[in-house]
Amino acid sequence: MAEKLWKRAPKEHSQELRRAMQIAFLALNGWIGIQFHLFVRYYETGGRSLAAARPPGVEGWLPIAALMNLKVLIMTGRIPSLHPAGMFLIIVFLAASWIFRKSFCGWLCPVGTVSEYLWRIGRKVFRRNLRLVRPVDVALRSLKYILLGLFLYAVGSMPVPAIRAFLEGPYGIVDDVKMLNFSTCWGSRAAS
């Protein structure tokens, strides 16, 4: 009787690589947040705190400004002078998502990473995850698409001169600082 030879498949390493990428991008975003906070704090204190350079990656947190700049690039063929890094980031993220489907959410997005690990913690602690009733689940899942539609409508309906006036105006110049102030104000109120 001939003995069957079994060959084991090589070990799959893609999930280990995905987790490493998720943690790396989460850490990168954490570093960007700390660096940006130090940058803003330096100017708020009149130079009496630790000096830090403004990290260009913070523009990745301004998707509306990135969409506006993308429209300016498409309509004029010119790269906008204010917040261009966000525009290039959104182009890369959109291309990666189109080519590799859920690559951005599953591999790079810090919100997706935190969401996934909260799901895992909930599964370990409670031995199951909470299931919402279908209408509530559908309504909550739809919010991101409603917001996307509103942003696309707002940017799509703005003419290029209006976009430039907004982005180069007083608010557009410091919109990243306003975003930081909003999130830290919201965080401090939630903690109290």
Q: Sign (positive/negative) of CA torsion 145, 157, 87, 175?
A: negative
Q: Parse the chain into domains and list their residue ranges.
A: 19-170
- Write the burial class of residue 1 (CB in 10 Å: 0-12 exposed, 13-18 middle, 19+ buried): exposed
What is the number of other CB atoms lying within 10 angstroms of the CB of residue 89? 18
What pLDDT was estimated at residue 3? 66
What pLDDT was estimated at residue 174? 85
Per-residue confidence in pLDDT tens, the chain, 192 aa: 556 677 777 777 888 999 999 999 999 999 999 999 999 989 888 889 888 888 888 888 888 889 999 999 999 999 988 888 889 988 998 898 889 887 788 888 888 888 888 888 888 888 877 788 899 888 888 898 898 899 999 999 999 999 999 988 888 888 888 888 877 775 444 444
- H-assigned helices in 45-191: 63-76, 84-100, 103, 110-126, 134-157, 160-168, 170-173, 175-191
Tell me if the pTM is above 0.85. no
Q: Are 132 and 47 in contact (CB under 8 A)?
A: no
Q: Are 65 and 59 in contact (CB under 8 A)?
A: yes
What pLDDT was estimated at residue 101? 82
What pLDDT was estimated at residue 192? 45
